[in-house]
Amino acid sequence: MRSAKTYVLVPGAGGSAWYWHRLVPELRRLGQEAVAVDLPAADDAAGLREYSDTIVLAASDHRDVVLVAQSMGGLSAPLACDRLSVTELVLVNAMIPAPGETGGDWWAATGQEQARRELDVREGRSPDAPFDPLVTFFHDVPPDVTAEAMTVEPAQSGTPFEEPWPLSAWPDVPTRVLSGRADRLFPVDFQARIARERLGLTPEVLPGGHLVALSRPEELAARLVK
């Protein structure tokens, strides 16, 4: 019988626990516990340390924790590993920072923009079109979920992007990388290169775009709990 763990779910930019609302019941259906974290994304006084403190506070009563980090969550979730009983860190379409690198510098340092432009060209979109979240993020999310998401405009302070990533090395915990095959922000081949270069890992590819917890919660839950 599969042992139960607690999946602590760290969102990306905007910091809303709502992002995980379709995944939480799927994890529980598989006999697991799930804790969706709300980060202080709108607070300009909150940086990476405050984000990691929030994660620790949300998970401090749990053991056998699997930390799951979406997108920007890759900056803060690793910082909580030394203060929790973490059995695994799972990066889902996530930023993978290097020691001393700011989140703001990450984009150019990794070549994300060039990778995004090349994918747009390959798939027939104009790489110079104005940013449209419906195209980049919600292209594979169900219409009703997209409509609900559009009712709230999540704020994201720039403070966490201005701080050098403080760890001298990646945490010494088992790490997996999950990449959405249809991610238009962090193309899957881009994610594979960064995971290989920075962690020596090969991502597991699954269906879905950047917001895979909204578009493919059943598949994501199955991959997390495998």
In the chain, what are the domain boundaries?
A: 6-225
CB atoms within 10 A of CB 85: 12
Query: Which tens digits make up the pLDDT trace of 60-76?
Result: 889 899 999 999 999 99
CB atoms within 10 A of CB 152: 10
Q: Considering the domain 6-225, what is its CATH architecture? A: 3-Layer(aba) Sandwich (3.40)
pLDDT at 153 over 70: yes
- Residues 19, 151: Cα–Cα separation, whole Å: 13
What confidence score (pLDDT) does residue 2 get?
63
pLDDT at 141 over 90: yes
If you average pLDDT over residues 160-187, what whole number do you get?
98
- Residues 85, 92: Cα–Cα separation, whole Å: 20
Global confidence as pTM: 0.96
**Which residue's entry shows tokens 């803060």?**
76
Tokens of 3: 């042992």
Q: How many CA atoms lie within 13 A of 57 on its CB side?
A: 10
Point out which residues pair with 102 in neighbouring strands.
Answer: 164
Number of helical (H) and strand (E) elements in the chain, helices listed first: 11, 6
CB atoms within 10 A of CB 144: 8
Question: Which residues neighbour 185 within 8 Å (Cβ) at sequence distance 6 or greater?
Answer: 71, 93, 112, 116, 136, 137, 210
Tokens of 124: 């027939």
**Which residue's entry shows tokens 């070549």?**
111
Output 8 or 2, whichever has higher pLDDT: 8
Label residues 33-64 b or e (16+ Cβ within 10 Å = b). bbbbbebbbeeeebbbebbbbbbbebbeebee
What confidence score (pLDDT) does residue 1 get?
45
pLDDT, averaged across the chain = 96
